[in-house]
Homo-oligomer: A and B are copies of this chain.
Amino acid sequence: MHARERYISAPGKSILHGEHAVVHGKVALAVSLNLRTYLRLQATSAGKVCVNLPNIDTFLSWDITALKSLLSGWKADCSSSELDSNLVKRLREFMAITDGSTDTRSMAVLAFLYIYLSVFADAEVLPSLSVCVWSELPTGAGLGSSAAFSVCLSAALLSARGTISTPLIQQQNTARWSDAELELINKWAFQGEKIIHGNPSGVDNAVSTWGGVLRYHAGMITPLSRVPTLRILLTNTKVPRSTKVLVSGVKDKINKYPSVMTPVLDSVDAVSQACEQTLADMATEGASTKHYNILEDLIDINQHHLNVMGVGHSSLDTLCRVTLAHGLHSKLTGAGGGGCGITLLRPETEPSVVQAAVQELKEAGFECWETSLGGPGVLLHSSNSITQDTLSILTSY
């Protein structure tokens, strides 16, 4: 252990364009969402490992000796990109998780223990520590809360182990890791995602690790080199939906009307590519009204296309209508059928305009956050770079 205490944060993710179309071989743009998950790791001398996850009312601790016994006769294979099924099996038994259960709390703790044991497997001793993770992200809303959780865990445990550095120097508020270290954080975060989700695409943990915008196409994830930060309003309609049912509905519609739907997917692909180009132009030329006009056009067009695919919802229509009445453009993000939507705010959009829109959206029963897209990925923090509210939650367990 190199420090008694460390603070780490990682962002959520939003899909800017290309949701659903990506399943059919088209480009999608995933972007970091600056609603962050915060982690505090504290080295202790209690001979225990404590995990506190206040968002999901989970507070657990184990004796180091009990955890040590899980490693007997087991050899970590860090070269493999696959989950170690033997370790997962031991952990499920240890935690008494019934076969087939994928309960959120159990999976979150399983992910923690898996990464903890894997990272420290070849250490001389298993360290005694306490971890508290708290998130601004709503869970299960398609905003990558599990990936942000896994990325924070991965960065904290790798850094505690000394596998990656602790780059924060005195007087610095935040620090990032090197590309090679980020690769390692992402790799272990992906293991966490696999435990929580079964068969994740790897996009969520990559966005949470690198931040900015990632292009996702045919299984390949490519970070865009330079992107602007976009001010947005994120709205959760709180209408529950099944991603699986929505994805299968789109597939059915493509099969039913191939000549109608195939060009729609092509148009969505072109929207993603036009957006990518515009973001690159904004980064090199400086953002202007012209760029925001294009971004708004693309948002409107894609929202209509998503409606054509059948993944719209009256709650999302309400979001679009209410925000448009204030001159703001919105689209669903992610699976659709309810869930979340994003509303682009221009740099010059007056706070009073945003407040008025938020007021109406709250009256419609929605939850709103004024935040941004495209911000940094995983960060190491000094305690004074974390808001007092967040700090008091992280230090109260």
Interface residues of A (CB under 8 A from B): 256-257, 259-261, 263-264, 266-267, 270-271, 273-274, 297-298, 300-301, 304-305, 307-308, 314, 317, 321
Pick from B256, B270, B321: contact of A259, CB under 8 Å? B270
Interface contact B260-A263, CB-CB below 8 Å:
no
Q: A301 — nearest CB in chain B belongs to which residue? A: B308
6 smallest CB-CB distances across A and B, nearest first, come from A263-B263, A259-B270, A263-B266, A263-B267, A304-B304, A260-B270
Q: What residues of chain B lie closer than 8 Å to A264, measured between beta carbons?
A: 263-264, 267
A273 to B307, CA, bound (A): 21
Judged by DSSP, the binding face of A is helix
A44 to B33, CA, bound (A): 81
A304 to B303, CA, bound (A): 9
Identical chains in the assembly = 2
Q: What residues of chain B lie closer than 8 Å to A301, measured between beta carbons?
A: 257, 260, 308
What are 10 A-B interface contacts by the 8 Å CB criterion?
A257-B274, A259-B273, A259-B274, A260-B267, A263-B270, A300-B308, A304-B304, A304-B305, A304-B307, A317-B317
A266 to B260, CA, bound (A): 8
Q: What residues of chain B lie closer than 8 Å to A273, measured between beta carbons?
A: 259
Q: A259 — nearest CB in chain B belongs to which residue? A: B270
Q: What residues of chain B lie closer than 8 Å to A267, measured between beta carbons?
A: 260-261, 263-264, 267, 308
Interface contact A308-B317, CB-CB below 8 Å:
no
A263 to B267, CA, bound (A): 6
Least distance between A9 CB and chain B CB atoms (Å):
36
Least distance between A309 CB and chain B CB atoms (Å):
10
Q: A265 — nearest CB in chain B belongs to which residue? A: B263
Pick from B257, B259, B271, B321: contact of A260, CB under 8 Å? B271
Interface contact A304-B297, CB-CB below 8 Å:
no
Q: What residues of chain B lie closer than 8 Å to A308, measured between beta carbons?
A: 267, 300-301, 304-305
Pick from B270, B271, B298, B317: contact of A321, CB under 8 Å? B317
A253 to B338, CA, bound (A): 29
A297 to B310, CA, bound (A): 10
Pick from B260, B270, B274: contact of A274, CB under 8 Å? B260
Q: What residues of chain B lie closer than 8 Å to A304, measured between beta carbons?
A: 304-305, 307-308
A317 to B274, CA, bound (A): 27
Q: What residues of chain B lie closer than 8 Å to A307, measured between beta carbons?
A: 300, 304
Q: A318 — nearest CB in chain B belongs to which residue? A: B321
Q: What residues of chain B lie closer than 8 Å to A260, measured between beta carbons?
A: 267, 270-271, 274, 298, 301
A75 to B308, CA, bound (A): 57
Known A-B contacts: A260-B270, A263-B270, A314-B321. Give 7 more (CB < 8 A).
A257-B274, A260-B298, A260-B301, A263-B264, A301-B308, A317-B317, A317-B321
